[in-house]
């Protein structure tokens, strides 16, 4: 019988590999950091997935209507200023801007200055082409008319030279209706949604229309050169599946000419771990709504001191999602996403015939966005909030029994994930990067749902996956300094401090430690070279004591990556 003291609280159930170590008489290894399984390795791969190809911001050129200069005039008494032509703002609100000048003697030029106040107000409120003018008039009883010309759309033309179908791009411009008042938010949303279409570059021109107060919009779309793929080499693995990893990513942009993107990713450490993912995302309407699907597959075999156990396994994930921009502007964006994930996980230990086969079905609802501002040298804040409601099913009776006597992960669970990051410019060469990620769960989680701490994406002074748990946070503070161009590239120096707290099990089911903190500090260098070559290196050392739940490891750790985009 296995002693209860060896059923570590670090795992929601008796980890098959840890159990095999005990049965093999290797109890000291069993009481160290829990070796990775299919769920853990799958979690550690998520930050490495490549981002979709970046889109370019649309350009907008304004061609204002030429205005004739007002003639010189002698001062005349202005008893009342009468505002006409306005429909967007109440007359009372506009009149307050100029009412203080009533009862004075003014020249025509001074009255025009009052009209410019109203023009500026419209521009500040997001109506870039609206203007207030002094029309030709006969002034009677000291009443001066200020006419507001709220610019409206005339013709809206699309000149599409991209690979995307005209009908899809035209649907994105349908919100710009002829006769509607030209307003920044609606115009920018349409142009930004156009620029979000993969492989499309957008340039728009607003020019005077055929009728007074109208402006025609001409939108030119061309093919935007995008990154077709990347290849990379790094040491982001671990001692059980090998440290050196080779990865590649390939994007096929607009295969159906419908704002769609087909992506394939592969990642390998050789015999220790092989991973592949295929995804497809398509734009379904002119409002920026996307739907997509993905399939990924992972196979691993643990080596190092565990090679004699024959510990191996697989993981596969099928995902379906829908995504919609709730807010799309140059200063702030908010996106909503609903996703369904089906995960199937298999962990086997050949030496002891132990198996842990299970599958999960998760609904994930999330909001994410960003805000740009001009604080100091400018900055951007990025945030996300996600809620997962899932259920764990065991596919073999022995694993289900072990789970019932231990972590009790079987059945429904819920968890929250939150992330906030800030890149703050301090000067043209210096910036501070802040990041805080947190997770909370209502029950003990399967390894595929736990958050991990340690490695190049979290606490860089510790090995990848040094700790994992149901509840916790990871924080980073990083100073970035641009060194400029030298030796065929752009160089950036960084200094950082990482910290994390992890509670292993939400409901502890054995005695002993159930939480720990990791901290580290270090320096690094990033390089961007010609022909889309990139490299980075960082070295970090532990700050404070190593928690007992983390395996013994060197106090200094280094991370290196080299990539080439094409």
The pLDDT assigned to 67 comes to 63
Confidence class for position 186, pLDDT limits 50, 70, 90: very high
> Rg of the Cα trace of the chain?
31
pLDDT tens digit string along 114-138? 999 999 999 999 998 899 998 988 8
Torsion, Cα 247 420 295 322, to 10 degrees, reads: -140
CB 503, CB 471: distance < 8 Å: yes
Q: What ranges do the domains of the chain cover?
A: 4-54+299-565, 55-225
pLDDT tens digit string along 350-381? 888 889 999 999 999 999 999 999 999 999 99
Nearest to 35 by CA among 233, 414, 308: 308
Q: Among 49-53, 383-387, 407-411, which stretch is predicted with the lowest mean pLDDT?
A: 49-53
CB 454, CB 472: distance < 8 Å: no
DSSP 416-474: EEEEEEEEEE-SSSEEEEEEEEEEEESS---TTTSEEE-STTS-TTS-TTSEEESEEEE
Taking the model in full, what pTM does it have? 0.88
**Higher pLDDT pick, 470 / 549:** 470
| Beta-carbon contacts of residue 5 (< 8 Å; ≥ 6 apart) | none
The pLDDT assigned to 139 comes to 86
pLDDT tens digit string along 486-506? 888 999 999 999 999 999 999
CATH of domain 4-54+299-565: 2.40.160
Confidence class for position 430, pLDDT limits 50, 70, 90: very high
- Residue 56 scores a pLDDT above 60: yes
The pLDDT assigned to 212 comes to 82
Give the DSSP H or E segment for 517: strand 515-528
**Backbone phi, psi, residue 87, to 5°:** -130, -25
The pLDDT assigned to 446 comes to 94
CATH of domain 55-225: 3.10.20.310
The pLDDT assigned to 91 comes to 95
Give the DSSP H or E segment for 115: helix 108-124
Q: Please report the sign of the dihedral spanned by the C-alpha atoms of residue 66, residue 67, residue 68, residue 69.
A: negative
- Mean pLDDT, the chain, integer: 89
**Higher pLDDT pick, 29 / 534:** 534
* Residues shown for the chain: 566
- Residue 57 scores a pLDDT above 80: no
Between CA 392 and CA 395 the distance in angstroms is 10
Torsion, Cα 81 84 90 95, to 10 degrees, reads: -10
Confidence class for position 68, pLDDT limits 50, 70, 90: low
Q: Helix, strand, coil: what percent of the chain each, to 5?
A: 15, 50, 35
């Amino acid at each position: 019988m296995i002693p209860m003291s060896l059923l570590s609280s670090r795992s929601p159930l008796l980890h098959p590999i840890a159990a095999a170590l005990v049965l093999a008489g290797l109890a000291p290894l069993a009481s160290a950091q829990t070796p990775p399984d299919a769920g853990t390795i799958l979690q550690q791969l998520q930050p490495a997935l490549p981002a979709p190809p970046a889109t370019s911001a649309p350009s907008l050129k304004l061609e204002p209507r030429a205005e004739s200069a007002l003639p010189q005039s002698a001062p005349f008494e202005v008893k009342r200023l009468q505002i006409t032509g306005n429909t967007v703002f109440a007359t009372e609100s506009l009149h307050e801007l100029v009412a203080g000048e009533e009862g004075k003697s003014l020249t025509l030029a001074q009255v025009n200055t009052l009209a410019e106040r109203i023009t500026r107000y419209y521009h500040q409120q997001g109506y870039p082409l609206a203007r207030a003018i002094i029309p030709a008039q006969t002034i009677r009883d000291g009443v001066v008319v200020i006419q507001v010309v709220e610019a409206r759309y005339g013709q809206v033309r699309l000149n599409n030279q991209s690979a995307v179908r005209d009908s899809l791009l035209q649907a994105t411009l349908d919100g710009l209706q002829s006769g509607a008042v030209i307003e920044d938010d609606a115009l920018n949303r349409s142009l930004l949604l156009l620029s979000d279409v993969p492989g499309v570059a957008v340039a728009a021109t607003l020019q005077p229309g055929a009728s007074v107060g109208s402006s025609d919009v001409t939108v030119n779309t061309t093919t935007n050169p995008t990154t077709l793929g990347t290849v990379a080499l790094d040491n982001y693995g671990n001692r059980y599946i090998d440290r050196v990893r080779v990865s590649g990513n390939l994007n096929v942009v607009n295969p159906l000419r419908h704002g769609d993107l087909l992506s394939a990713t592969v990642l390998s450490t050789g015999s220790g771990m092989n991973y592949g993912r295929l995804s497809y995302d398509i734009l379904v309407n002119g409002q920026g709504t996307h739907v997509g699907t993905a399939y990924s597959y992972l196979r691993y075999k643990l080596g190092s001191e565990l090679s004699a156990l024959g510990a191996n396994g697989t993981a596969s994930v099928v995902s379906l999602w829908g995504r919609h921009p709730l807010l799309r502007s140059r200063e702030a964006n908010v996106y909503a996403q609903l996703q369904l994930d089906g995960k199937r996980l298999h962990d086997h230990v050949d030496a002891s015939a132990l198996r842990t086969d299970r599958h999960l079905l998760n609904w994930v609802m999330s909001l994410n966005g960003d805000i740009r501002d001009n604080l100091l040298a400018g900055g951007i804040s990025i945030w996300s909030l996600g809620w997962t409601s899932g259920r764990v099913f065991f596919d073999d009776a022995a694993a289900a029994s072990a789970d019932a006597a231990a972590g009790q992960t079987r059945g429904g669970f819920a968890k929250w994930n939150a992330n906030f990051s800030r890149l703050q410019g301090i000067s043209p060469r210096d910036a501070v990067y802040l990041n805080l990620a947190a997770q909370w769960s209502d029950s003990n989680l399967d390894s595929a749902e736990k958050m991990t701490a340690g490695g190049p994406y979290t606490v860089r002074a510790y090995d990848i996956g040094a700790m994992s748990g149901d509840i916790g946070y990871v924080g980073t503070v990083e100073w970035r300094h641009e060194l400029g161009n030298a030796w065929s590239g752009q160089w950036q120096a960084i200094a950082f401090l990482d910290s994390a707290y992890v509670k292993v099990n939400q409901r502890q089911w054995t005695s002993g430690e159930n939480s720990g903190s990791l901290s580290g500090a270090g320096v690094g260098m990033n390089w961007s070279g010609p022909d889309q070559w990139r490299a980075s290196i960082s070295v970090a050392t532990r700050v404070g004591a190593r928690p007992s739940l983390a395996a013994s490891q060197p106090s200094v750790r280094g991370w290196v990556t080299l990539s080439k985009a094409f």
